[in-house]
Amino acid sequence: MERVAALDEPLKKILGGTTAKVLAEHLGLETVGDLLHHYPRRYAERGELTRLADLPLDEHVTVVARVADARVLTFNHGRGQRLEVNLTDGSGRLQLVFFGRGSHKPHKDLLPGKRAMFAGKVSVFNRKLQLAHPEYELLDREADSGAVDAFANQLMPIYPACQQMASWKIAKAVDAVLPSAQDAVDPLPPALREGRGLVPLTEALLKIHRPGTKADIADARARLKWDEAFVLQVALARRRLAETQLPAVPRQLIPGGILDAFDARLPFTLTEGQTKVSREIFDDLATEHPMHRLLQGEVGSGKAQPLDALVLTPRGFRPMGAMAPGVEVVVPSGETALVDGVFPQGEREVWRLVLSDGSTVECDDEHLWIVSSRATGECVRTTRELRSRLLDDDGRPRWSIAPATPVDLDDGGHRPLDPHALGRTLGAGGAGPAGRTVPDAYRNAPVKDRRALLHGLLDGGGERRGTDGVFRAGPAPLAADVAWLTRSLGGTARIAPAGDGAAAVTVRLPGDGAGGADFRRAVTAVEHVGRRPVQCISVAHPSRAYVTDHFTVTHNTMVALRAMLGVVDSGGQAAMLAPTEVLAQQHHRSITEMMGELAEGGMLGGAEQGTKVVLLTGSMGAAARRRALLDLVTGEAGIVIGTHALIEDVVQFHDLGLVVVDEQHRFGVEQRDALRSKGKQPPHLLVMTATPIPRTVAMTVFGDLETSVLDQLPAGRSPIASHVVPAKDKPHFLARAWERVREEVAAGHQAYVVCPRIGDDEDDGAAKGKAAKGKKASGAQEEPSSPEDLAEKRPPLAVLDIAEQLRTGPLAGLRVAALHGRMAPDDKDAVMRRFAAGELDVLVATTVIEVGVNVPNATAMVIMDADRFGVSQLHQLRGRVGRGSAPGLCLLVSEMPEASPARARLAAVAATLDGFELSRIDLEQRREGDVLGQAQSGVRSSLRMLAVIDDEEVIEAARDEATALVAADPELTGCPELRTALSALLDEEREQYLDKG
């Protein structure tokens, strides 16, 4: 243990308090071991550091160059002075600037012809690259001839540095602790190290810090990557093994329970991908050990009809464009239900379904149809799916649509004429109130009146053959009404032209034992109509379905809750953890709406096999919170949806059986485990993320989870064009961005504007004070040294400020509203509902809209200060547009200079919509991710050398070796050095978690 203690020695004992404090505060290095594992970022031979021609903006760099010239300038009427030094290295030029008293020493040292190493942050001033007040070390003085020889004869390590500690100072600190490398504990079993041809750890540490050749660097990196990958994979393998050893209550599927009742309500079948994933989940739930599964991917679709399409209401058909929340509509079973959401979609491509009886229905490509076929039975298919395979192999129509249940209608008017008499009059060629067509008063009538009217028409102008009949030679408008009346009664009607504007209608009505299947109408063709304004509606009925013109039926998509319902059937409870209150409320609302009375267990009117679904968030009132907590501890509530509030100690469950974590990237392992610890036995765990995860990352970040992927792309998603808007370099581009927003709104669409901060007087005052303080401390320079410095000094743009500026400026006259996390939940909900209903044109918001907000009519997004968001976050935000059929537009506004890393990151986001590619870019730029969720506990990342994107082969091989080792020796009794390395990787809480096995 003495050797371990040598690496645990605090740096202040060796380097002194001042240096140790800087290393600890700015680089997180506190012990000898920390510094030994602070590896060089790259190496250079003398003069081969960052070339001046390749300098990246906004980064700390180290360069070797020669002084070309130096001059002292004055400003502020001679009261201030600055030293400007121009450097060259043969590839380019760089300017150094020193102010005031800080210019005296460099003025004496940096004479023309002198050669030195310089370190500082690259900025731009007057269109020239610049280092302000850089640190430097002369290389050409005789006293430093040893340093010159050293630089000439060996590779120079360049360390990740900071403004307070240049790379060469870190190198000197490493020199002081390098002898301790011989005390490093080698975690790799000797057989593995020798079998892989890896150098010993002590040798690797010496070679990584002080290599003699490039081959030394390669050997050291190969060894150190294996250390990181192997130790991490052993930790994950032990966690997986521990999971298999933990007891869990098997949650077997129980027939005849709430899951079956829920499934029976679904008027569609699950997709193939959903079925496969459901099977994996239910297989895991049935075992005696906790399920530990990651579900990645999202599947969704929007569906809409033209505004002149007809929707059946109890008062007769009304245009889709007249639908509004609260309007009563008829569902296929004949019941009525209220419209609870209206979602304008702007213009979409519209298709016309042609049915076997000649009737047609128009809709968009994602419209859902309850259809049947010989192969599938009754199921739900989109228009796109119907038209992709219209015919069976034998050439017969593949899909058919059943009639809806005939319902009594009432237009509220007085019907003065007898239906039989009117029918005979019209059938005999008499004049009708609407020019030889059936008046609305009789179209929107009870079933018996419509039937009597149809019989009168057949009596007066046709012949009847039992349940069938032919109405002969009627005017075309009247023939269409005869067909409509027949279909409204659940029958079929085929119109055939009879010349001179007349038509004949062949009629079949249910009755006399005729089978209902005989009255299904086949889909014979799907025709393209063109782009038309469309919208979709949401219906507050368990079936989520409604009746549209010609008595075909459609319904809204719903999210499957089947895993949670299966656990409730087995006597357990399910908890869903959502990252924000907005998303938790949306989940709660959609789940209770979909379940209907099944979500009202124990309440008056609730279903017998139902359960209670409760919401638990931090902003709930005390009374509602007490009720929710009581429902959980007594078991009254089978399902709870909540935020971090679920993790609090006061929350207790009767029998927690399943934890569902939504948007996993927002939570750490500790938070997952805190919720899981509330079960009497460890509950099953389903982790969901819509963020694409490359395979190598899944093996590391989520290496303790089995993985399921829903890789079907969201149906109907339209392409999203993304562009970077350089607001500082080209202000007219930003003006054009607001013009584009106005254009989208004029076209019937909506837009988001996203800001990184909420903003209020207190925040603004603090930010301004901080900026002023920084300005005062920076000296009396005439102008800011660079645009990015200016961007750093000003606070991030705020929702409240931008919303007001847009209302009175570039978006004046549009309906603009703000949304942010500090608003009361009811207020947030009200704003989102107004936006979803099309009552607002532009929503200025923080990242509360990042997940779970679905407004298909929103086609444009402007992200202000986009450089302040991560790649994955930008991709999530961008996914809020392009959800309908209209193309999406995402504008990434930034004040960063074109050559800066921040702009490069934004350009990468704009260049691709592939989430997996973007997650690779994100990881390549950040390199080290906190793979065990340690960011939440403030522990430094465990990965320093391993790149989870580039080192797939190493990770895969290490996973195989680790799995085999842990299976053979779970306690690692034969590998004490490896146990020591694990202790360093894992904090005490993690080690206890792993030791449960």
Read off the pLDDT of residues 716-745 as tens digits, 9 standing for 90 and up. 445 678 899 998 888 889 999 999 999 999
Regarding predicted confidence, which is higher, 641 or 441?
A: 641
CB 854: neighbour CB atoms within 10 A?
Answer: 16
Query: What does the block give as tokens for 52?
Result: 């001046």
**Cα(915)–Cα(920) distance, integer angstroms:** 9
CA dihedral 185, 191, 194, 197 (to 10 degrees): -100
Whether 151 shows a pLDDT value over 50: the answer reads no
Q: What is residue 743's DSSP assignment?
A: H
Give the model's pLDDT for residue 413.
56
Query: What does the block give as tokens for 174?
Result: 């490493």
Regarding predicted confidence, which is higher, 626 or 599?
A: 626
**Cα(864)–Cα(805) distance, integer angstroms:** 13
Q: Which element (helix H / strand E) includes 262?
A: helix 258-265
Give the pLDDT band of residue 928 (cuts 50, 70, 90): very low
End-to-end CA distance of the chain: 26
186-190, 411-415, 806-810, 842-846: least confidently modelled range: 411-415
Give the model's pLDDT for residue 916.
55
Cβ–Cβ under 8 Å, residues 702 and 959: no
Cβ–Cβ under 8 Å, residues 587 and 561: no
Give the pLDDT band of residue 713 (cuts 50, 70, 90): very low
Max CA-CA distance within the chain? 121
Cβ–Cβ under 8 Å, residues 810 and 738: yes
**Cα(631)–Cα(644) distance, integer angstroms:** 18
Whether 786 shows a pLDDT value over 50: the answer reads no
Whether 80 shows a pLDDT value over 60: the answer reads yes
Burial of 403 (0-12, 13-18, 19+ CB in 10 A): buried
Residue from 292, 33, 280, 304 nearest 178 by CA: 33
Give the pLDDT band of residue 783 (cuts 50, 70, 90): very low
Regarding predicted confidence, which is higher, 253 or 919?
A: 253
CA distances in angstroms from 122 to 46, 51, 299, 775, 897, listed in the order given? 21, 13, 44, 19, 11
Give the model's pLDDT for residue 773.
36
**Cα(715)–Cα(580) distance, integer angstroms:** 26
Give the model's pLDDT for residue 959.
87
pLDDT tens, position by position, 642-684: 888 888 878 899 999 998 887 554 455 666 677 778 888 888 8
Q: What is residue 16's DSSP assignment?
A: -
Please compute the mean of the pLDDT values over residues 506-524 and round it to a whole number: 66
Give the model's pLDDT for residue 772.
38
142-146, 174-178, 544-548, 671-675: least confidently modelled range: 142-146
Computed over every residue of the chain, the mean pLDDT equals 75
Residue type, 614: V
Rank 425-429, 952-956, 960-964 by mean pLDDT and report only the highest.
960-964
- Alpha-carbon radius of gyration of the chain: 35
Give the pLDDT band of residue 996 (cuts 50, 70, 90): very low
